[in-house]
Amino acid sequence: MKRLQYAALGLLCFALGYIAASWNDQPSLTSPPPEHSRVSLATNNPVALLALDQDASDQPHSKDIQQQLKGQHRQLKSIIQQTSDQQLGRYLQQAFPNYSFTGIQNKQQFAQQMLDEFLQAKNDPQQRLAGQAYVTDQSQTNVDQVLPREIYVTQPLYAHFDTMGKVPNNMQVMVRWTHRDSGEVLLFTPRKVSEQQQQNWVSFYPMTGWKTGHYDVKYYQMNDQLSPIAQTSFYIQHVIE
């Protein structure tokens, strides 16, 4: 049973770590992914390979990993429930080595919420949240600024959010960027922000470049419930190569 737990949880961390933006080299606890999305194990850390070279043709696409997780969703939820908080803490720290999870008291609940939000991969427009968010091509805070419909393929975009004083300030938030039209998760990771401000932003562009279409961005508190803070959507009409 322990062998099965480690293999399945390894797949979970493999998927979540794939979406993280940066990695330090470290020993891998993951099992090789299924045959149809197997990567070249040139090192002992296939997750690091994916994070550093996401646009390589011989490496799995995040949609493939999401499909694997969907097929094992119930099994993974069950295994998370049977895994100790201490063990889950080690998996989370391995997946995101540059961030702290000491404030997470119930790591089982946190891990399950991460899995659910990763698989959902889109915002719920009916969900009423305390904060506000918007996306621009500038780091300066300006709620009236409109995102251009034409974006350079590797142009960083800035997802601003404002807690409106209704959410406790924290030095870390969880953020998810998705391409809604394809259902692909582009980024799902903690990010460090200014704890002294209720207005912050996270910049991002996909390593494979922007595509035309609709995108969703969502911010979460780093708490047991992974409570949403704010969400927004934007549209890219044309990509300039």
| CATH code, 208 | 2.60.40.1930
Is-contact 28 45, C-beta < 8 A? Answer: yes
Verify that 101 and 170 share a domain, yes or no. Answer: no
Verify that 168 and 115 share a domain, yes or no. Answer: no
Does residue 199 lie in a domain region?
yes
Does residue 226 lie in a domain region?
yes
Kindly compute the dihedral angle of the four CA atoms of residues 107, 113, 118, 120, in this order, to the nearest 10 degrees. Answer: 170
Residue 9 pLDDT grade (very low, low, confident, very high; cuts 50, 70, 90): low
Distance CA 26, CA 50 (A): 14
Verify that 188 and 108 share a domain, yes or no. Answer: no
pLDDT in tens, 162-205: 999 998 888 999 999 999 998 888 888 889 999 888 899 999 99
Is-contact 224 105, C-beta < 8 A? Answer: yes
Q: What are phi and psi of 120, to 5 degrees?
A: -65, -45
Which domain covers residue 200, as residue numbers?
A: 132-240
Verify that 172 and 147 share a domain, yes or no. Answer: yes
Verify that 103 and 147 share a domain, yes or no. Answer: no
Predicted confidence at residue 58, as pLDDT, reads 41
Other C-beta atoms closer than 10 Å to the C-beta of 74 total: 8
Verify that 155 and 197 share a domain, yes or no. Answer: yes
Does residue 127 lie in a domain region?
no
Verify that 101 and 8 share a domain, yes or no. Answer: yes
Residue given tokens 């494979």 in the structure block: 208
Verify that 114 and 145 share a domain, yes or no. Answer: no
Predicted confidence at residue 67, as pLDDT, reads 73
Distance CA 191, CA 78 (A): 28
Residue 216 pLDDT grade (very low, low, confident, very high; cuts 50, 70, 90): very high
Verify that 140 and 83 share a domain, yes or no. Answer: no
| Total domains, the chain | 2
Does residue 125 lie in a domain region?
no
Lowest mean pLDDT among 53-57, 137-141, 177-181: 53-57
Lowest mean pLDDT among 61-65, 72-76, 88-92, 216-220: 61-65
Last residue of a domain, one of 120, 152, 180: 120
- Kindly tell me if the per-residue pLDDT of 127 is higher than 60: yes
Listed ranges 52-61, 116-125, 199-208; the one with the highest mean pLDDT: 199-208
Last residue of a domain, one of 99, 120, 141: 120
Higher pLDDT, 232 or 93: 232
List of E strands, 57-198: 132-136, 150-152, 157-162, 172-179, 184-192
Nearest to 155 by CA among 139, 144, 143: 139
Last residue of a domain, one of 91, 120, 149: 120
Predicted confidence at residue 15, as pLDDT, reads 52
3-state secondary structure of 227: coil
Q: Collect all residues with Cβ–Cβ distance below 8 Å to 176 and sequence separation of at least 6.
A: 117, 118, 185, 187, 188, 216, 217, 218, 220
Does residue 126 lie in a domain region?
no
Predicted confidence at residue 173, as pLDDT, reads 94
Verify that 17 and 109 share a domain, yes or no. Answer: yes
Verify that 114 and 14 share a domain, yes or no. Answer: yes
Higher pLDDT, 188 or 11: 188
The arithmetic mean of pLDDT across residues 209-234, rounded, is 95
Higher pLDDT, 99 or 50: 99
Residue 40 pLDDT grade (very low, low, confident, very high; cuts 50, 70, 90): very low
Distance CA 39, CA 205 (A): 23
Verify that 136 and 232 share a domain, yes or no. Answer: yes
Does residue 42 lie in a domain region?
yes
Q: What are phi and psi of 162, to 5 degrees?
A: -130, 120
Residue 136 pLDDT grade (very low, low, confident, very high; cuts 50, 70, 90): very high
Residue 111 pLDDT grade (very low, low, confident, very high; cuts 50, 70, 90): confident
